[in-house]
Every structure is written in structure tokens, then in C-alpha cells.
């Protein structure tokens, strides 16, 4: 009886309308969360900034040298793939496919785990409650 009153959550990539950024659409008994390319790209950029990696963000390939010293678990091929997806979306003006969004999501989750692993308790609290990671 109680289960029938709970909302069902469905995560769905909406096609067509590109004005919404990480928006929630309510329907009769469920709601949809619109997650697009810009969400993942902004999250990854925020994580790199939070990690304390400094350098020229205009030249992302040179940024890998600095990033790889601090986080050895990130492979160069993996990082280059992420940068190519960034460029495809930003400069090519193309929408990313579902499997490309999945690549961005996996990299974001991996980077969050690495950031937590390398951080002390104070920074973990800041990450958890200030940046909501």
C-alpha cells in the first residue's frame, strides 16, 4: 500500500529542447531529470579546479602533465578522450551520444573517488557539504 504512493524516479535524456540545464520535469506520478553534456563538463571542470591543479585551462593537453603527477591513476588516453568530447560539444556544436555521456559520467565518478582518496578529513567535509559531491 505504501509503495504505490511513492514517486518513481526516471532519469532520461530529453531530445530537442536544449535550453534546460539539469532541470526537473514533473508528471503525474513520476518526474524526469534532464541531464545533458553541459552538466558533466561543468562537474569535471569543477573537480579539476577543486583538486588544486593549477595551469592554463586554455591548453588542456598541457594540463594533463600537472594532473598526472598528482593523480597517477588517470591514464593519458582516458584524459585525451574526455578532452576530445569537450571539444566536440563546445567547438563542434554537436550533441553527445549516450555512450559518450556514459564516458563522461564514468570519468567524473572516478575523479571523485580519487579526490576523496587523496584528501584529508577536513577537505572531505568541504567536498561533501560545500560542493555536494
The confidence score (pLDDT) of residue 37 equals 83
Model confidence pLDDT, tens digit, residues 106-131: 999 999 999 999 888 888 888 888 77
Number of neighbouring beta carbons within 10 Å of residue 60: 19
Please give the pLDDT value at position 21. 45
Short-list 50, 27, 37, CA closest to 115: 50
CA distance 21 to 111: 22
**Average pLDDT, integer, range 54-71:** 83
Q: According to the model, what pLDDT value does residue 65 have?
A: 87
Residue 14: name the closest of 6, 26, 23, 5 by CA: 23
Instruction: Please identify which residue in the block is written with the cell numbers 566536440.
Output: 88
Give the tens place of pLDDT for each residue, 67-94: 888 889 999 999 999 999 999 998 888 8
Task: Please name every residue paired with 25 in a beta bridge, in sequence order, or none if there are none.
Answer: 32
Amino acid at each position: 500500500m505504501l509503495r504505490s504512493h511513492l514517486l518513481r524516479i526516471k532519469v532520461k535524456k530529453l531530445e530537442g529542447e536544449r535550453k534546460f540545464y539539469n532541470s526537473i520535469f514533473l508528471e503525474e506520478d513520476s518526474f524526469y531529470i534532464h541531464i545533458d553534456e553541459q552538466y558533466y563538463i561543468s562537474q569535471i571542470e569543477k573537480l579539476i579546479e577543486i583538486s588544486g591543479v593549477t595551469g592554463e585551462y586554455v591548453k588542456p593537453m598541457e594540463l594533463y602533465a600537472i594532473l598526472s603527477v598528482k593523480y597517477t591513476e588517470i591514464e593519458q588516453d582516458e584524459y585525451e578522450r574526455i578532452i576530445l568530447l569537450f571539444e566536440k560539444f563546445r567547438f563542434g556544436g554537436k550533441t553527445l551520444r549516450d555512450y559518450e555521456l556514459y564516458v563522461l559520467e564514468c570519468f567524473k565518478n572516478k575523479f571523485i573517488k580519487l579526490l576523496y582518496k587523496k584528501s584529508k578529513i577536513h577537505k572531505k567535509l568541504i567536498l561533501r557539504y560545500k560542493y555536494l559531491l
